[in-house]
Chain A
Amino acid sequence: MPEKKLDLLQGTLDLMVLQTLAAMGSLHGYRIARRIEQASGNAVLLNQGTIYASLVRLQQRGWISAEWGTSDNNRKAKFYSITKRGRKKLAEDAAYWQRLSGVMGRVLAMQGEGGDL
């Protein structure tokens, strides 16, 4: 039986999408979803439809932009790319996540040796 997949924390999907677009340039929805799954080593549980809600949200805030184009398989698809404001937001959120995961790591690494309490 495979290991149980990770549920996504609130807000993390948006960050993943931004990072994906920042790293890969212009992509359409299916590719974004696939990239996230691949990058996470198929470890996250991604209801692929939710990626669109995230894309709409990001677009509404002006962090990504979208235009219709043709995919590799010669299909009509909407291509998303990150905007300048999106990159700024990504940098902020990435720094926050680094700090948070660092703190989480340290806290979870805590052992009983202190013992004063």
Chain B
Amino acid sequence: MSLWSRIVNVARGDRLSREIDEEAQSHIEEAVAQGRDSAEARRAFGSALRHREESRDVRLIAWLDSLRADAIFGWRQLMKRKATSAAAILSLALAIGACTGAFRLIDALLLRPLPVADAQHLYVLSRKGIDFDGKPATVDGWAYPAFQLMRAAVKNQADLLAVSYAQRMDLTYKSDAEMEKASVQYVSGWMFGTLGLRPTLGRLLTENDDLKPHAHPYAVLSYDYWTRRFDRDPEVVGRTFRMGDDLYQIVGVGPEPFTGTETGIVTDVFAPTMMHPGAVHDDWTWHRTLARLKPSAAVEPTRARLDATSRAFEEERAKGFTGMSKQDIEKFLDQTLVLEPAAAGASDLQSNYRVSLVALGVLVAMVLLIACANVANLMTAQASSRAREMALRVSIGAGRLRLVQLVLVESAIVAFVSGALGGLFAWWSAPFVVGMINPADNPARLFLPADWRVLGFGLALTLGVMLLFGLAPALRASAVKPATALKGGEDPHTRRRMMHALIAAQVAFCFLVLFVAGLFSATFERLSNRPTGFVANRLLILDTTAQRAESPVFWDQVAEHLRGIPGVQSVALAGWPLLGGGGWNGFVSVNGAPPGPVLAYFLAVSPGWVDTMKIPFTFIDGSDFLPSDTFPGAAIINETFAKQFFNGENPIGQTIAKGGAPCKVVGVVRDAPYRSMREPILPSAYVPFHSIDSKGALQPVRDATFMVRTSSVNPMALASILRREVPRARPEFRVSNIRTQAELVRGQTLRERLLAMLGVFFAGVALLLAGIGLYGMLDYSVLQRRREIGIRLAIGAPAGSIARLVTMEVFTMVLVGALAGVALGMASVRYIETLLYQVKAGDPAMLALPSLTILAAALLAALPAVIQAVRIDPVAMLRAD
């Protein structure tokens, strides 16, 4: 009989017993038929029951059978108290699900190795130093010429790969009318070979595709893009598409699991680095540098060599700097190259969300602990009410292990049902959270496979949870002393001490969750209420591109055409929108003096831009640009610029110069954030969209943005009309992207909104669970002490003293827990400091809010128990015993 049939027999135990009995029966009958006396035949057969037991134990696995019996018994126990069991299972399921969901996110973004050969030997190069704004900064962007030098310097220790930041770019397979967006990465041709990747179709790029600037218009599609865009058409190899001025040929499709090295973005098209216009510039930092260390190479010597090469390159470059003081140049050169492991890839999403995700993970872990404490208390209370049953079992010979098994099996049912439900929750919640990371036009795409890693985590978590809440009550229940238990109960205080400790722990964890959630919400609230200085509502952003750079006069014509469309209030041109991520900066000299150390930011705008944005002028004699104004020539500055460079003097009419381009200040406008809501306002200057070269000729422009203020509340209603009208004004112009300014402003607080929302949600769950726990605990203690309370009432104790008696201990625990929570919160806050905005952990309001909330919840939870205690009828109570 195989092991399998023995396992199967466990499931059909009743039938097995019947079969054995049947066979014994037929044996006796056969004997009688042969003429033997029935009683004698039975005697000769021996004890039928013993034979049955023996045969059964051989035919099935005894321990599995007892487990089955315990499982059925446990299930009946749980079904007996449906409401409590359901509450326990639901709270655990939510907590396990949230933890598994958080793990899925953390794993997918930060832990899971890239599907490439030897991912553990991949490193990303960055430089730590002080940036031009004077703040410590780590930069991972590199100039290609520096990359080439570094690659040559360490060619025996490591393979260096240049991988550009993934960009959403416009490309077309047919006519320009059918422009589409794709996420493009320029990569070193030898990247595929170095990472051990094989093509699905055609060939991948090689070193030979990456030799001369602008000479290799070949592209490899990612498997994902090939599937989405081409439905896995095998004919795709050899097709061409136009991107910018170049016609690229598709040479192959990458391997299925590889989506690029920028985790959180799925690259669609890979092109050689040599096709990037920045490949020949020593001052364009446009790509990351990855290093794959050779097995024989050590990290530190390689780093030192790279550091020396990078420094030499920058020193050489700094010789060409003009207009910068010696100190500033030294400050700029004082950078250290660092090598950080990049087995999981390198992306902005990782650096932006690393701390956030870990913080969320800790929050949900706290919620899980609270839920576990609840269930543990529940199990303990239940076990104590079953003390007599346990004592009976021990009396008739049950071993201690058997009792532990009995109680643990019940916990296991709770844990695994919760685990299964939690799995469903995690399956839904992780993509939901990723879906919320959706900056305008560029939503995060993170692959969240539900494979053995996630499954293993979920299982381990479920098992851990089971032991956490089940083991202590099981051991306690099995340690029952029959004599005491059957006589009428042991010392009730021993049991309560553990429950009290659990309550304190619950309150501490709950406080931490509430505290952190409060910090997140305050951050979000402060950040989203920060004045922008312009009016974002009803403002549409048309990112527009022309086939080749066109004269600004043509751009003006398109703007003029758009102004005539019904529903459009005003139209202006800008190099890029505020808060859109674009930037242009430089050192400024005032009235011919040498440039100062502070960076100013510039933006090219057309006349009417200030008006369209509704940024007010602050000096009465300031004015907007005239249509004839050019850069260099005129500038409008913001208040911070005025304060920074003019010390309160009237700046109107004075001259500022960026590099060799002098501009007369014609107006001062109110502050508006330039690239981020989180940083202080930058000194900004707006210069005319019409830019001229040294000979006075107008400079053509390839890409710019139309800012359109609409009369409709929903500016997107005009989107399709405007998209159509731009090429109608001039056929060589095309809208590549339409966004609203409000979307960009919202995008600034995406992470904060996410953290605040999830934080508040889990704070609610934590509070609810802790409240339920407290209620259950008080209810139980009143139940246990009802005799004592009855006697006290009978001898005249007032209601107040009974209430005190019931709640005193528990409230002490709440207090202890809250204090521990404060300590925990203060200790942990420095890990999340980077996520906060203008919120201090020591802020009394930040500490008072969770304290008061918990206190209120505790009072609410205590109320039913107190009422019940006071209403105990001493006569009925004492007569019952």
Contact = CB atoms under 8 A, between A and B. Distances in A.
Interface of A: 28-31, 33-34, 46-50, 52-53, 56-57, 59-62, 71, 73, 75-78
A73 B34 CA distance: 9
A49 B46 contact: yes
Among all A-B residue pairs, the 8 with the closest Cβ atoms: A49-B46, A60-B1, A30-B30, A49-B51, A47-B46, A49-B45, A56-B58, A73-B33
B22 to A, nearest CB: 7
A61 B6 CA distance: 12
B577 to A, nearest CB: 79
Given A34-B34, A75-B30, 9 more contacts: A28-B26, A31-B30, A50-B51, A52-B51, A56-B58, A56-B59, A60-B59, A75-B29, A76-B26
Nearest to B59: A56
A53 to B, nearest CB: 5
Given A47-B46, A49-B45, A77 B30 contact: yes
B58 A57 contact: yes
Interface string B26-43: 110111011000000000
9 contacts: A28-B26, A28-B30, A49-B24, A49-B46, A56-B58, A60-B1, A75-B26, A75-B33, A76-B22
A109 B6 CA distance: 47
Contacts of B45: 47-49
A29 B59 contact: no
Contacts of B22: 76
B7 to A, nearest CB: 13
B59 A48 contact: no
A53 B46 CA distance: 12
A28 B30 CA distance: 10
Given A53-B51, A56-B55, A73 B30 contact: yes
Contacts of A30: 26-27, 30-31, 34
Contact of A53 (B1, B6, B55): B55
B448 to A, nearest CB: 47
B48 A49 contact: yes
Given A47-B46, A49-B47, A76-B22, A59 B1 contact: yes
A64 to B, nearest CB: 10
Interface in B52-106: 54-55, 58-59
Contact of A52 (B6, B23, B31, B34): B23
A81 to B, nearest CB: 15
B725 to A, nearest CB: 84
A33 B44 CA distance: 11
Contacts of B30: 28, 30-31, 71, 73, 75, 77
B65 to A, nearest CB: 15
Contacts of B26: 28-30, 71, 75-78
Given A28-B26, A71-B26, A52 B59 contact: no
Contacts of B31: 30, 48
Contacts of A52: 20, 23-24, 27, 51, 55
Contacts of A62: 1
Contact of B46 (A29, A48, A60, A71): A48
Max chain A Cβ within 10 angstroms of own Cβ: one of B23, B51, B58: B23
Nearest to A33: B27
A34 to B, nearest CB: 8
B396 to A, nearest CB: 26
A29 B441 CA distance: 80
A29 B45 CA distance: 11
B841 to A, nearest CB: 67
Nearest to A29: B27
A96 B6 CA distance: 31
Contacts of B48: 49
A71 B134 CA distance: 100
B1 A50 contact: no
Interface string B1-31: 1000010000000000000101110110111
A75 B6 CA distance: 27
Given A47-B46, A48-B45, A73-B30, A53 B23 contact: no
B6 to A, nearest CB: 8
Contacts of B44: 46-48
A47 B24 CA distance: 13
A22 B304 CA distance: 83
A85 B478 CA distance: 46
Contacts of A77: 23, 26, 30
Contacts of A50: 46, 51
Contacts of A57: 58
B23 A29 contact: yes
Contacts of A71: 26, 30
Contacts of A28: 26, 30
B316 to A, nearest CB: 82
A41 B49 CA distance: 29
A55 to B, nearest CB: 8
A53 B58 CA distance: 8
A77 to B, nearest CB: 5
B819 to A, nearest CB: 63
Contacts of A59: 1
Nearest to A71: B30
Contacts of B29: 73, 75
Nearest to B53: A53
Interface string B126-147: 0000000000000000000000
A8 to B, nearest CB: 13
A56 B1 CA distance: 9
Contacts of A61: 1
A34 B36 CA distance: 12
A42 B34 CA distance: 16
Contacts of B59: 56, 60
A44 B104 CA distance: 69
A80 to B, nearest CB: 11
Nearest to A75: B26
B27 A48 contact: yes
A42 to B, nearest CB: 12
A66 to B, nearest CB: 9
A29 B23 CA distance: 8
Contacts of B55: 52-53, 56
A48 B42 CA distance: 9
A28 B20 CA distance: 13
A52 to B, nearest CB: 6
Max chain A Cβ within 10 angstroms of own Cβ: one of B26, B31, B44: B26
A92 B50 CA distance: 31
A52 B59 CA distance: 12
Contacts of B34: 30, 34
A56 B33 CA distance: 24
Contacts of A76: 22, 26
A88 to B, nearest CB: 18
A60 B24 contact: no
Nearest to B3: A60
A76 B24 CA distance: 11
A41 B54 CA distance: 28
A90 B20 CA distance: 26
Nearest to A51: B27
Nearest to B5: A60
A116 B688 CA distance: 130
A71 B34 CA distance: 12
Interface in B545-562: none
Interface in B567-604: none
Max chain A Cβ within 10 angstroms of own Cβ: one of B20, B30, B55: B30
Contacts of A31: 30
Contacts of B46: 47-50
Nearest to A37: B44
B113 to A, nearest CB: 46
A97 B29 CA distance: 34
Contacts of B51: 49-50, 52-53
Nearest to B54: A53
Nearest to B47: A49
Nearest to B19: A78
A30 B22 CA distance: 13
